[in-house]
Amino acid sequence: MPVLVPEYLNIDFNTLISRLKDEIKDSNTFRDFNYEGSNIAIIIELLAYVGELNTYYINKLAKNAYFDTVEIFENAHRLGRLVGYKPKGYRSGRATVTVTIPSGASVSVDDVIRVDAWKEITTTEEYENEAIKYSTTTGNTFTVDSIPYSFNLNTRQGNVTRLTGYYGRDLIDNELVLPIYNYSYDDDNDDDYPTIEVTVDGDVWTRVSDFYDDLSGLYTEDDVYEFRYDRYKRSKIVFSDTRNIPGDSDEISIIVLKSLGVNGSIGAETITTPETQFVYNDTTAAWVDSSTLTVSNSAASIGSADPETVEDIKINAPLVLHTQYRNVTKKDYKTNLETRSDVAVANIWGEQEIAPSGSTSEFNKVHISVIPQSWGTSSIETSASSAGFIVPLNYSNTYRTTLSTFLEPRKMLNAYEYFELPELVYFYFDIGVKIKRTYSYASVLSDLRNKLTYYFSSSNREFNETISFIDITNYILDYTNVSTTDNFTSVKGIQNLIFRDINCSLSIYEPNDDNNYPQYTVTASTYIGDNKLRKIQLGYDQFPMLSLNLSTFTQET
């Protein structure tokens, strides 16, 4: 019979002392020996202490050898790499800025102007008493067709950093470790927002996600490199023997953005001040005076993220392994989209969900709906209803294009992807609370509201979910359900929690086969009277939200 629990887990200090004494008693020499207060007792305790330490470290080694139990970032990173997953480092926010050249500036109609890559624009927002900066990462050329003249630029958060003085002879195992700073890793190598440029003897090399496409024979580039975030939380440039490697005397230069991660997020109309030499007039061979330019961003930045944690790697690595970097199933699409820093939740559905019996109009259609990390004109534009509910209006062209470009190399050739606007379904409750005598109602209510809010956060909810009020009650009363920033300690003071009523921002249908959602999962006749606390099934494009302001909480005695 297999032993499911390793015996070493039971070898603690006291158990070892007991076992050592039992072993010694079997010896004729120590059979009748009194261990208390004797020197041999000290030796026994020393052996037990060493044994317990050994057990502790064996347990640590075993725990950090598997995804389910790993605790150390270095090991989680290593396990992720073993299955082909590349943990992500800091990711800088993205923003589109509009630059306007007014009349009176040194620019005329038909002039050719350009903004080179790696030009910085200072924002009005700060982090740790330093202004947050956004930078261009690609060059742009425009022909002026009218005055005033406006044009758009894609920017990424970060201070432009130039690393020079490296040569091929500085590589160790084809790797060049960069100085210890927080560099922008990037979500997608195929978008219009690169964050790093590597040149070898003046030639720009191409960044790739891996070197394995040479196996297909379809690759066209040999001057390539990888930019990795390693298990020691360092950034490094990696070359491969299967492609070209810089020679010993080849000079390697790097331009990269130092990133603030989530701390680099900025609001609308905050990117304002370009550097002195920003726009160059090729026609007149002169710089346009930056003080005459007007720079603005109509939408907040999106896509900011800190490095993946151990928990992120434990979740994402196995999922990405199963997708094999292609989108065939719903799970494949969902996994790949949700690894992006600008997507909080995604849902995918198609013909089998819409018309199980078959529909030619749905052949090969992939319907996609996402909840962005932040709403706004740079992702999904919204409005507010009279009740304060968020109402999604449309995907921004940039956001839709970015996601489509990201999905393009992974999708099946015959698939057509349609982005559907998410429909937010708001719930608000009438809740009765009876508290324990030793607790304050104010503190219990505060933690109850916070935990209910956390339950409905995008990190915990899904599209097409079944809302169960029993599940919500159990979640709130389970003390082990905590967030990374709040333990909700005072919910322990809840003696009784009762959901007395439920209200929804949409009409709730009775069970039907006409795809009318949200709908109850059982008919009203299942219960005596009108039971509004039946489970509610949301539609494929519907996402649950909480209206805390409209929820009522009553202290009961």
Are residues 532 and 434 part of one domain? yes
pLDDT reading at 412 higher than 90: no
The domain in which residue 226 lies consists of 160-258
Residue 89 lies in a domain: no
Residue 83, both tokens: 């299955």
What confidence tens digit (pLDDT) does each residue in 40-79 have?
788 888 888 888 888 888 888 888 988 888 999 999 999 9
Are residues 542 and 432 part of one domain? yes
Rg (CA), the chain: 30
Q: How far is CA 223 from CA 126, 362, 552, 557, in A?
A: 38, 43, 63, 74
In terms of pLDDT, which residue wins out, 234 or 408? 234
What confidence tens digit (pLDDT) does each residue in 132-143 have?
999 999 999 999
pLDDT reading at 530 higher than 90: no
Least confident of 89-98, 196-205, 346-355: 346-355
Residue 25 lies in a domain: yes
CB 261 within 8 A of CB 90: yes
35 pLDDT band (50/70/90 cuts)?
A: low
CB 533 within 8 A of CB 499: yes
What's the pLDDT score for residue 368?
95
pLDDT reading at 23 higher than 60: yes
What's the pLDDT score for residue 1?
44
What confidence tens digit (pLDDT) does each residue in 462-520 have?
999 999 989 999 999 998 998 888 999 999 999 999 998 888 999 999 999 888 999 99
CB 396 within 8 A of CB 386: no
What's the pLDDT score for residue 96?
92
Identity of the residue numbered 212: Y
What's the pLDDT score for residue 6?
54
- Cα–Cα distance, 180 to 158 (Å, whole number): 15
Are residues 441 and 398 part of one domain? no
Are residues 167 and 127 part of one domain? no
What's the pLDDT score for residue 539?
94
Are residues 222 and 129 part of one domain? no
- Cα–Cα distance, 324 to 123 (Å, whole number): 40
Q: What percent of the chain has pLDDT above 70? A: 93
Are residues 205 and 128 part of one domain? no
> Taking all residues of the chain, what is their mean pLDDT, rounded to a whole number?
89
310 pLDDT band (50/70/90 cuts)?
A: very high
Q: What percent of the chain has pLDDT above 90? A: 61
* Closest listed residue to residue 483, CA positions, set 532, 515, 447, 530: 447
For residue 465, is it left (φ>0), alpha (ψ between -120 and 50) or beta? beta
Are residues 413 and 336 part of one domain? yes
pLDDT reading at 89 higher than 80: yes
Quote the number of domains for the chain. Answer: 5
In terms of pLDDT, which residue wins out, 2 or 292? 292
Residue 317 lies in a domain: no
For residue 100, is it left (φ>0), alpha (ψ between -120 and 50) or beta? beta
Residue 16 lies in a domain: yes
- Cα–Cα distance, 320 to 318 (Å, whole number): 6
Residue 313 lies in a domain: no
385 pLDDT band (50/70/90 cuts)?
A: confident
Distance of CA 453 to the CA centre of its chain: 20
What's the pLDDT score for residue 291?
93
What confidence tens digit (pLDDT) does each residue in 312-350 have?
999 888 888 877 778 888 889 998 899 888 999 999 998
Residue 312 lies in a domain: no
Nearby residues of 177 by Cβ (< 8 Å), 6 or more positions away = 234, 235, 236
pLDDT reading at 24 higher than 80: no
Residue 18 lies in a domain: yes
Are residues 454 and 544 part of one domain? yes
What confidence tens digit (pLDDT) does each residue in 189-235 have?
666 678 999 999 999 999 988 887 655 555 678 899 999 999 999 99
pLDDT reading at 371 higher than 70: yes
What's the pLDDT score for residue 218?
58
Are residues 443 and 539 part of one domain? yes
What's the pLDDT score for residue 532?
65
What's the pLDDT score for residue 418?
92
Average pLDDT over residues 284-309: 93
Residue 318 lies in a domain: no
Are residues 466 and 550 part of one domain? yes
Q: How far apart are the first and last CA of the chain?
A: 55
What's the pLDDT score for residue 187?
73
Please give the DSSP secondary-structure letter assigned to residue 193.
Answer: -
